[in-house]
A and B are shown apart, each in its own frame.
Chain A
Amino acid sequence: MKSKRGARDRSATLLVSTRKGLWQMQSDPTRRSWRVTGPQFLGHIVHHCVADPRDPKVILAAARTGHLGPTVFRSTDRGRSWHEAKQPPAFREGSGRVVDHTFWLTPGHASMPGVWFAGTSPQGLFRSDDGGATWRGVEGFNEHSQRKAWCGGDQDGTPDGPKLHSILIDPRDARHMYIGMSGGGVFESTDAGADWRPLNRGVRADFLPDPDPEYGHDPHCVRLHPALPDRLYQQNHCGIYKIDRPAERWQEIGVAMPKSVGSIGFPMVLHPRDADTLWVFPMDGSKVWPRVSPGGKPAVYRSVNGGRTWQRHATGLPKNQAWLTVKRQAMTADVLDPVGVYFGTSSGEIWASRDEGRSWKCIAAHLPHVYAVETA
């Protein structure tokens, strides 16, 4: 990160999307002290807010309110002012489908400035070629002959609706993409989205009659490593997985997690430089799925060997009676050295670690339900 003066900037900025609006957090160069600014879009449900790594002045936010339909807001001045998309993501007229909300935003390939992708609820894939001002459906997915089978119905989605998320672009090849769907599974395209195929072998789907189906899975969060793009990880409804392409079968790496904690969670965070280091935030996925920290004892688990072993890190976190829920977009990492790791909770807290997840500090509280945390 470079400051305006060109000197090395050691500060971090977080974009905090919540059920009631958008906040930004800016650290000092030590990342010990944080300043909260906002809200923007107060009262809007902001599902995702993402800065453009190709031009950090550009930020997109996916928002709706309880009353009004979904839209996308764009800023070209780091969030000081915003303009609404002229044509937000919307399904083809006559398709019978309606975008309830835009859930996920992903900047396009580095070689394609202005290109963005959006995933919606229900599952739809959309593309903008003008920095988010106008959006059109990626017909290769939205009109695919198998789409209905892959996506299922409302009963196959999350309590907040079925979602298309985890839109991943191979940094070596703009035409090579992955998406995740809850429900549906992971899908791959090698032709810029013109066609798709399932990539779920090896992933359990023990909530289905066939526990090893071709699709129908529930990947909560899928990540591709930027420095080793053949390496993907996913935090799934049924455990934690890794795949090294061109392999076709995912390996379950959550089996090394403590049995008392399990391997269920929503988010998945990767180290920006080391493809073997990753973080998860386990939640209780037993019986009726409380989706809170197991036993009320929150902890981040880190692996430094690609999931062969895991270390519990809870220093600074509440020791008990803390029933935190961290959603799939609400945990992220910066690119500094040492890496800062951050997560937001459904109870409105933001927690930060400036030592790669070993120790934690609450840097904001009393925010609304946190939906997403991204660095800017």
Chain B
Amino acid sequence: MRVLIPNPLRSYTADVAVVNAQGRTLDELAIDLNRQYPGLRFRIIDEQGAVRPHIKLFVNRLQKRNLTEALSEGDEVMIVCALSGG
């Protein structure tokens, strides 16, 4: 499925804004992203498995807070870096 990568994470994707990744859940998708782009997952998900405070995940434009959220082929996932100060 399509994954939209925000600017701060494009150092991992060689500046590519839209990548393809697989997974039955958001967590699996993050693992697949990390397989393709090592290091990316830890920048958005902490060691206890929680999405970091200034990261938001959207599936088909709806915000999802739980990494167990199921995904389907054809979904579009968007990673957003929320406001984080000056």
Contact = CB atoms under 8 A, between A and B. Distances in A.
A276 interface: no
A71 B84 contact: no
Q: What is the predominant secondary structure among interface residues of chain A facing chain B?
A: loop
B38 A91 contact: no
A90 B8 contact: no
A68 interface: yes
Interface in A30-76: 43, 65-69, 71
A99 interface: yes
Contact of B8 (A67, A84, A92, A95): A67
B54 interface: yes
A68 B48 contact: no
Interface in B30-86: 38-39, 42-50, 52, 54-55, 81-82, 84-85
Interface string A81-98: 000111010111111111
B9 interface: yes
B2 to A, nearest CB: 21
For this complex, into which size category does the number of interface residues on chain A fall?
20 to 34
Contact of B43 (A69, A91, A96): A69
Contacts of B6: 67
B66 to A, nearest CB: 18
A90 B45 CA distance: 11
A71 B6 CA distance: 18
A95 to B, nearest CB: 8
A71 B42 contact: yes
Interface of A: 43, 65-69, 71, 84-86, 88, 90-99
For this complex, into which size category does the number of interface residues on chain B fall?
20 to 34
Contact of A68 (B38, B44, B47, B49): B44
B38 A93 contact: no
A94 B9 CA distance: 26
Given A86-B39, A90-B42, A67 B47 contact: no
29 contacts: A65-B8, A65-B84, A66-B84, A67-B6, A67-B8, A67-B54, A67-B82, A67-B84, A68-B9, A68-B43, A68-B44, A68-B52, A68-B81, A69-B42, A69-B43, A69-B45, A69-B52, A84-B38, A85-B39, A86-B38, A88-B42, A90-B42, A91-B48, A92-B47, A93-B47, A94-B48, A95-B48, A97-B48, A98-B48
Contacts of A95: 48
A43 B49 CA distance: 25
Contacts of A68: 8-9, 43-44, 52, 54-55, 81
Instruction: Kindly name the residue among A69, A92, A94 whose own CB sees the greatest number of chain B CB atoms within 10 A.
Output: A69
